[in-house]
Amino acid sequence: MSSPVNFPKNPLISLTQDEELFRSSVAEFAAREIAPSWERWDQESSERHVVQREMISRLAGQGLLAMTCSPEHGGQGGTQTMATIALEELAYADPSVGSAVYALLNIGWPFLLGMYGRQEVAGSVIERVSRGEAFFGIASTESQGGSDIANLKSSAAKKGDGYVISGTKSFISGVNEVFGLPWGGGWFVLARTGGPGRAGLSGFAALPKEGGRVAPGVSHSLFEVAGKHSLSTGSVTFDGLEVGRGNLVGEEGRGFYLAMEGFNCARILVAAACVGASRWLLERAAEWLKSREIGGRRLSSYQSVGFRFAELVGKYEAARMMVYRAARLFDKVYFERQPGYSKGDLNAPVAMAKMMGPEVSMEIGQEVMRWFGASSFVRSHPVQRSVLGLLSYVVGAEGAQNVMKYIVSREVLGHDSVRD
């Protein structure tokens, strides 16, 4: 089906032949398997906490989970650019971004586990994630705040050849999925193994449910959230969860720094999802503006409307370029390992993509609701479902917007310039 918007060609976002074929494959899959069902999934999960096994199974069957992980671990061996393509297309098909966010979490954090985790744990978890039998995300946020990661209070005390994790993580994605999927899974959990500050934090593959068995010393609750219902949000309390030394990711005291790498991966994909949903919103707006008449004229013929639409298309194009620049840089650092590129080179471009993607998507969504008028205020209206899902990435998920601005200013002005 042709688009009602004539988006301009952009040679700055050029894809290889393989990437174009991959985009076509994901777009066809998403149109067939995601688009017809996303509203039903969102509605079902808004009425009762249910794991959307159908959605997860379809994503797994298409090879869209753990897709940047090594095939040795059961992953797909894809690049960050390919993951970005997939997330854009998934969010276009499901603009509530529920299925896209499920996929991005189970791409970004398994990738980190595969990079730095012990073989016996990483291989076991990633293989199950890829099959849709397990979930693996991030659990860093605590009740005192999500952005102040360096001062987290959860602890991991040594016990024998392992650790005992204690503390509560809040506003965590995938809580219902971890306990509801057949194998289970868990999260990359940051916990304090040393003194105060970032140097005292270590990262663990904490698996409250593993091999279908729920471990003792874990409890959880689910939150009633505004949108993006097909992926659950809740809290998890670790009351003495015992994990082996093999569950330590990287080395002790390196958890904060590994988390920053994981966030750089996930934030690109978050921004890609926001861009995909923005495209969907712009197309629905175009259809409406061309068909709706006021005073005997189509809405699209009013300059006040057309000029505003033009502004939003421009912002969408700018956000999309930011996303693909960050994805290409990620590939150069992690997959191509090109000389002259380092992990630190990702910080500002990734933060800019995450800074722009959600903000632009919300600006577009709110304007589209105004154009649709009262009908978009009905709870079941698809535009409203999209806006409420996107809102989660403006208010803080995967990093608050002001944190993104701080990162950009720090990287551009210099670290010393932003310190007290």
Which tens digit of pLDDT belongs to each residue from 32-47? 999 999 999 999 999 9
Among the residue ranges 133-137, 189-193, 392-396, the one predicted with the least confidence is 392-396
Average of per-residue pLDDT across 205-231 = 94
Nearest to 175 by CA among 44, 49, 43, 39: 49
Burial classification of residue 301, based on how many CB atoms lie within 10 Å of its CB (0-12 exposed, 13-18 middle, 19 or more buried): middle
Residue 146 pLDDT > 80, yes or no? Answer: no
H or E stretch covering 214: strand 213-214
Q: Which residues, 6+ apart, have CB-to-CB distance to 106 below 8 Å?
A: 65, 66, 129, 135, 136, 137
Q: Where in the chain is the domain with CATH 2.40.110.10?
A: 136-253
In single-letter form, the type of residue at position 367 comes to E
pLDDT band at 397 (very low <50, low <70, confident <90, very high): confident
Cβ atoms of residues 188 and 259 within 8 Å: yes
Q: Where in the chain is the domain with CATH 1.10.540.10?
A: 17-134
Q: What is the pTM of this model?
A: 0.95
Q: What would the pLDDT profile of 104-125 be if each residue is shown by its tens digit?
A: 999 999 999 999 999 999 999 9
* pLDDT value of position 420: 58
Nearest to 25 by CA among 63, 57, 67, 69: 63
CATH topology of domain 17-134: Butyryl-Coa Dehydrogenase, subunit A; domain 1 (1.10.540)
Q: Where in the chain is the domain with CATH 1.20.140.10?
A: 256-418
Average pLDDT value for the chain: 94
Q: What would the pLDDT profile of 335-389 be if each residue is shown by its tens digit?
A: 999 999 999 999 999 999 999 999 999 999 999 999 999 988 988 899 999 999 9
CA distance linking residue 131 with residue 66, whole number of Å: 9
* pLDDT value of position 144: 72
Say which CATH architecture domain 136-253 belongs to.
Beta Barrel (2.40)
Q: Does domain 256-418 have CATH number 1.20.140.10?
A: yes
Q: What would the pLDDT profile of 233-274 be if each residue is shown by its tens digit?
A: 999 999 999 999 999 999 999 999 999 999 999 999 999 999
CA distance linking residue 66 with residue 304, whole number of Å: 45
For 22-57, the DSSP string reads HHHHHHHHHHHHTTTTHHHHHHHHHHS----HHHHH
Query: Which CA distances in Å does 137 have to 27, 147, 180, 236?
Result: 25, 17, 15, 13
> What are residue 39's phi and psi, to 5 degrees?
-65, -40
Average of per-residue pLDDT across 211-237 = 94
Nearest to 355 by CA among 384, 396, 314: 396
Q: SS3 helix, strand, coil % of the chain, rounded to 5?
A: 55, 15, 30
CA distance linking residue 226 with residue 196, whole number of Å: 35
Residue 145 pLDDT > 90, yes or no? Answer: no
Average of per-residue pLDDT across 222-231 = 94
Q: What would the pLDDT profile of 201-212 be if each residue is shown by its tens digit?
A: 999 999 999 999
Q: What would the pLDDT profile of 276-335 be if each residue is shown by its tens digit?
A: 999 999 999 999 999 988 888 998 998 999 999 999 999 999 999 999 999 999 999 999
% of the chain beyond a pLDDT of 90: 84
Q: What would the pLDDT profile of 173-184 be if each residue is shown by its tens digit?
A: 999 999 999 999
* pLDDT value of position 253: 95
- Which residue, chain included where needed, has tokens 């990711």? 249
> What are residue 6's phi and psi, to 5 degrees?
-90, 75
